[in-house]
Amino acid sequence: MEQWVLGNEHTRSMWDQHVEITHLRGMAENIWGADAQAMMAEFQPSESLLMKYQHNIVNSDRALRGKRVLDMGCNHGLYSYLAMRHGAAHVVGIEPRGMFVNGLNRFAEQNDLPMQFHRGYDTDMARLLREHDIDTVIMMSLNDTTNWENMMYDVRKSDAEWLIMQVTTLPDTWVEFSKEIYDHAKTGSGMPVGFTLHYETFNSDTRAGINPMHKDTADPETGFQHVRHDGKYDLKSSHVIQSLQSRQYIRKFIDHVGFKVESSVVQPSPLTKSPSRLAASGLYQWYLLRNEK
């Protein structure tokens, strides 16, 4: 299993070759409007962004070049754009928030780029794979808020060839199984193969729209679930259960479903200065999986 080395000059060089800053500004302005001009004025890719770019895009060239790609939960569309710039024939981005979908479609049309964005959810995976004749699926940071296992089954049963996956994992050493658990396993329930930890937290960002409990009442543009009558966000009402899996469980589930692991890379330590909550507190792991039939 490989590890990411910070300060990778090659990654920054690849970024500069493939990314047009005018495109990034255009994407941001189409989503957020005039406010994006100040936000993007001095934009430089962060250490966390370059790390994810290296492992999701640069190292997955063979799964992108000439392929029809589905970017599930595409957010602001950056990785859809990067997949296209690295040779994808066509990219379909799926996102529940209308402000992203509409803005990104305007951007793609303005620049005549082979990208198309749709409103959708994790429960739409099987249908989307069929309708768009997908070769490669990108799933980034979906394992904590969606039914990740069901999406894995959907991809495995489809005709897609590749799965590029970024997950947030916990070291298995963080939890020790007790003797009682092993004694229970001996009764016939099966031996433990890792664990999933569930956290109660506040759903305080726009990813709220993919929570199946409230997705039908979430604001269709922003994805916020709990907005008061005065238009302000109601943090106290936004409880949500998030899940993080152990590395061994993730790997065991991949093997169980039947994907072939082409590569696996683990983030050695959290990036404490990252603006991303998951990057700062969890450990990313990247997989390139082949869906052999």
Average pLDDT over residues 199-222: 68
Find the Cα–Cα–Cα–Cα dihedral 98, 89, 13, 41, rounded to 10°.
-30
Average pLDDT rounded to a whole number, residues 74-84: 96
pLDDT, residue 138, reads 98
pLDDT range class, residue 203, cuts 50, 70, 90? low
- Per residue in 92-120, pLDDT (tens digit) is 999 988 899 999 999 999 999 999 999 98
Of the candidate CATH numbers 3.40.50.720, 3.40.50.150, 3.40.930.10, 3.40.50.300, the domain formed by 2-172+245-290 belongs to 3.40.50.150
- Residues near 69 by beta carbon (within 8 Å), at least 6 away in sequence: 80, 83, 84, 88, 90, 91, 92, 134, 135, 136, 137, 138
What pLDDT score was predicted for residue 153?
97
Domain ranges of the chain: 2-172+245-290
Answer yes or no: are the C-beta atoms of 167 and 285 closer than 8 Å.
yes
